[in-house]
Amino acid sequence: MPVPADQYFFIDPNRCIGCESCVQACSECDTHKGHSMIHLEYANRRESPQTLPVVCMHCDSPTCAEVCPADAIKRTEDGVVQTARKPRCIACNNCVLACPFGVPKMNVRQELMMKCDMCYDRTSEGKRPMCATVCPSQALFFGTREEIERLRPRSRPINEFQFGFQTIHTKVRMMVPRETVATHIDVAEVLCHPDEGSDQEDAMLAAALCELPIVART
Amino acid sequence: MAQPPTSRVNIIEHFGPHLAYAEGTRLDRGLTPDRLVQTHCCFCGQQCGIQLKVKDNEVIGFEPWEEFPFNQGMLCPKGVKRYLQGSHPDRLLSALKRDPSSPGGFHTLGYDEAIRQAAERIGQIQSQHGNDAFAVLSGASLTTEKTYLMGKFARVCLKTPYIDYNGRLCMVSAAAGNKKAFGIDRAANPWSDILGAGVVWISGANVAECAPITTNYVWQARENGAKIIVVDPRITPLARTCDLFLPIKPGRDVALFNGILHLMIEHDWLDHAFIEAHTVGFESLAESVRAWPPARTAEVTGIAERAIRKAAEWWGTAKTSFLLHARGIEHHSHGVQNVLGAINIVLASGRIGRENCGYATITGQANGQGGREHGQKCDQLPGARDLANPEHRAHVAKIWGVSPDELPQPGVDAYEIFRKIDRGEIRGLLSICFNPLVSLPDNNFVARMLDKLDFYVAIDFFLNDTAHRADLVLPGSLHEEDEGTVTQIEGRVIKINQAVTPPGEARQDWRIIQDLAVALGRPHGFTFAHPREIFEELRRASQGGIADYSGITWEKIEQQHGVFWPCPSEDHPGTPRLFEPGSHNPIAKGAGPFYFPDGRARFNVAEYTAPMEDVDAAYPVILTTGRVVSHFLSGTQTRRIGPLVDQYPEPRVEIHPQLAARLGLGDGEWTTVTSRRGEITVRAQVVKTIRPDTVFIPYHWAGPKSANQVTISAQDPISKIPEYKVCAVRLSKAAAPPEYATQLERQQ
């Protein structure tokens, strides 16, 4: 049974509380029991408790699969990009290096690339992924477009991302503030001119990552 | 007498904490469980619904329980990994007796012999020194049935007034403040009322780490248009996205609330009709807050005046609102005053007792609510009845089949029990579900007092740090090995269902207590064959009281996904929202919504006093303490669960870069934090998310990693809660890593 076509996975970094419930629950999934296929990143712990859960974005044209010399990474007809197939994976790390979202991890002991498969054992049976089910702040959400529109009137989902000249469309949606223009940052440009970010870009980054409250000076 | 029988390292080597990970059947892919047991989490007061997967009398995993309305399948990391504590290598399978000649300091002995010896020693102490020479320390994680039994055991079997519980360390300031203002001690609203509030005010509550599911309620309210105000010395994960953050100086909350009320009066942001119809005492309160203009409030609280004015305006002009607070304002030597200050701004707004308008404290422990309502608190009898009240005594004595005169008078709080040990008045102690050596402040004093005891018997399922000093340890039961009820954060009575049976010679706690009563030759009233029988007696004992459970049945709980108390009859649906017009109220009897004979709430003048120990030249920095998300309380359980330990393996001291620079401390460097009572050496975590005059250390660890070596045992005069949230310290770079960094396992 395929993952229902009207069900989407949404990530809302503004809601992430860094509790790692997703990380702990992911390792309970039957398809990769004992291993977590999601990880948590701090944006900059010295500055803020802002964290970001990182899952596979399940790209429409997955770079990881495109760069795989062994054709080990398959995408299901319902758009879920799977962990590399054990008989084919040669542990070359191409996918790990190429993924613009930094998702695939090499399991060195098993010589196998492993990554989030959107809890295919659960989602293909009509259940929600383990991480999105347990997430206490619902930074990870699995449901319909109507549900997310009702629950997040201040936000909107995007699934188009720009990395340099590469435009990527994903099955997973990222929630961004409704009023903010999601102007994409060209990583190459930032690398060349680190001090010349536009105000608009800074504002977008600040709003997307942390809507800073008024902090009274003492 | 009760000094550890061998070195701490030896005890830990034998009894843990050791780390459990998923392995064996728990790691088996595709394994079909025998059954799913719908129950609740064993940790905090939210009591999230969870389904445990059981295979061959072992809990092998979990499945989200999405139908349970409070959490709808959501869980924090502790709930996800709780199943790893069952079948744990550290699990106590038999009774232990102190034996310095044994490698681990204890040898095993048969359960029946252990009960006989415990009863003999208790009997000796009480016959030589009187009944009052023996004390009981109980726990707020026990089911309500067990807490009821513990209170009855202390007063009817042991005939001692000295029983108290670790809820004393949790939310008793809120309880006392609620009783003074509302006449009843319970969250006023179900959490669903948060969703429609126009302003959500959160004071002293690290919601994201201590009550993670509540985050979703708060942020959903924000999505629905609410403004979120957070008052905290740290930018917590929830504070990060609030609309207004007030970085208060620890211990000054009552000043802020008084300052807010001052502005509400000045701008006439008051509900005069509500104040007139439903309250008393506003005039004298209004007079008292004249002394709190914004400039003074700003000076005392350390918050900018413009932010105080903004908060007052948002709160004052809101149409609907919800105020939440937790230990951040309650763990103080004036915690009750802080709570009263919070309640005053709620009452002045008139926004309580109706939809989308509410007030609550965030219960910290699993059964913090039910655990104090039914008799293990030193001054209370079942039904939240007052032990000093003759009518209340007569009601409960009749249920218990004793004369009211036989019931002891109110005892003393948990910390005072240790002071009585110091004075030689208490010679023996029984503890269950309480780990005071980690959880009480100034715990070097607690350790010395345990050493003074003639006899100490502990009931536990892991050998906790306090039980290292026990003469006898009786093997109790894990959460999933027994059934009963608990009352969660909203006042919802829910059902804990048994998943597995206790292993080895371990026994369900209520059986151990009854076996002790029989061995003491006082079995009358302790012949329950099942927790359901205890609940049936509890229902009758609570009937007519404020915490009336008489209409609650186990079946009704399961049918309704919980029943909110009070519930005075079986055809009554329960009371999710207190103070609604016409709702059940045995005190006011129709006179008004609040639980006083005239039905009116009380405004109380909330007096500001500085913390007991303020900073000075020798100790110039404020230390505050609290939790991290992957550990729970004294860590008896979570420091044994590998993935949770890996998530947060050791305490760190959070320091602002300005303070760190002044002291020459770098991120990750070993730092010694010293107070007048002790010192602790931990790594520094340099972050801009804490006030520069304040440092923070989480308190879940034992021994040399215990933050409570440093904290002060000052207590609130009314609630007797300790002042964990403020003491004065100095910091310095450690000359070398502490011994524990090289000698002990990482989880120690």
Instruction: Read off the pLDDT of residues B587-620 as tens digits, 9 standing for 90 and up.
Output: 999 999 999 999 999 999 999 999 999 999 999 9
pLDDT surpassing 50 at residue A205: no
- Nearest chain A residue to B215, by CA: A137
CB < 8 Å to B75, chain A = 21, 25, 134, 136
Residues 198-217 of A with CB under 8 A from B: 210-217
Who among B81, B247, B685 is closest to A218 (CB)? B247
Who among B238, B247, B687 is closest to A45 (CB)? B687
pTM: 0.95
CB < 8 Å to B656, chain A = none
Query: Are the beta carbons of B364 and B44 closer than 8 angstroms?
Result: yes
Q: Convert the pLDDT of each residue in B170-220 to its tens digit.
A: 989 999 999 999 999 999 999 999 999 999 999 999 999 999 999 999 999
Nearest of B493, B512, B542, B398 to residue B153 by alpha carbon: B512
At residue B157, the pLDDT reads 98
CB contact under 8 A, A134 and B689: no
Query: Does B404 sit behind a cis peptide bond, omega within 30 degrees of 0 on the bond before it?
Result: no
Q: Which tokens sit at B644?
A: 């949770």
At residue A210, the pLDDT reads 40
% chain B with pLDDT above 70: 99
Distance from CA of B314 to the nearest CA of A (A): 14
Q: Are strands B49-55 and B58-64 parallel, antiparallel or unpaired?
A: antiparallel
- Please check whether residue B512 touches A, CB under 8 A: no
Q: Convert the pLDDT of each residue in B496-520 to its tens digit.
A: 999 999 999 999 999 999 999 999 9
Bigger pLDDT: A15 vs B2:
A15
Size of interface A-B (CB pairs under 8 A): 154
DSSP string, B385-400: EETT-HHHHHHHHHHH
Q: Convert the pLDDT of each residue in A157-185 to its tens digit.
A: 999 998 888 899 999 999 998 877 666 65
Q: Are strands B199-203 and A155-163 parallel, antiparallel or unpaired?
A: unpaired
For residue B389, count other CB atoms closer than 10 A to its CB.
11
Question: Residues B81-106: what's their mean pLDDT?
Answer: 96
CB contact under 8 A, A213 and B240: yes
Q: Convert the pLDDT of each residue in B699-747 to its tens digit.
A: 999 999 999 999 999 999 999 999 999 999 999 999 999 988 876 555 4
At residue A34, the pLDDT reads 85
Distance from CA of B79 to the nearest CA of A (A): 9
How far are the Cα atoms of B68, B684, B710 from residue B438, in angstroms, in the given order?
A: 34, 21, 12
At residue A186, the pLDDT reads 56
Nearest of B458, B575, B528, B522 to residue B187 by alpha carbon: B575
- Please check whether residue A140 touches B, CB under 8 A: no
Least confident of A162-176, B521-535, B631-645: A162-176
CB contact under 8 A, A14 and B691: no
What's the ipTM?
Answer: 0.95
Question: Residues A41-68: what's their mean pLDDT?
Answer: 94
Q: Convert the pLDDT of each residue in A87-113 to its tens digit.
A: 999 999 999 999 999 999 888 888 999
Q: Convert the pLDDT of each residue in B238-251 to its tens digit.
A: 999 899 999 999 99
Residues 649-688 of B with CB under 8 A from A: 657, 667, 685-688
DSSP state for residue B192 in the 8-state scheme? G
- Please check whether residue A179 touches B, CB under 8 A: no
- Please check whether residue A218 touches B, CB under 8 A: yes
For B536, residues 6+ apart whose C-beta sits below 8 A from its C-beta are: none
- The residue among B27, B74, B236 with the most chain A CBs within 10 A of its CB, best to mutate, is B74
CB contact under 8 A, B629 and A217: no
- Please check whether residue A177 touches B, CB under 8 A: no
At residue B27, the pLDDT reads 86
Query: Are the beta carbons of B715 and B721 closer than 8 angstroms?
Result: yes
CB contact under 8 A, B223 and A14: no
The helix/strand count (H/E) of chain B reads as 25, 28
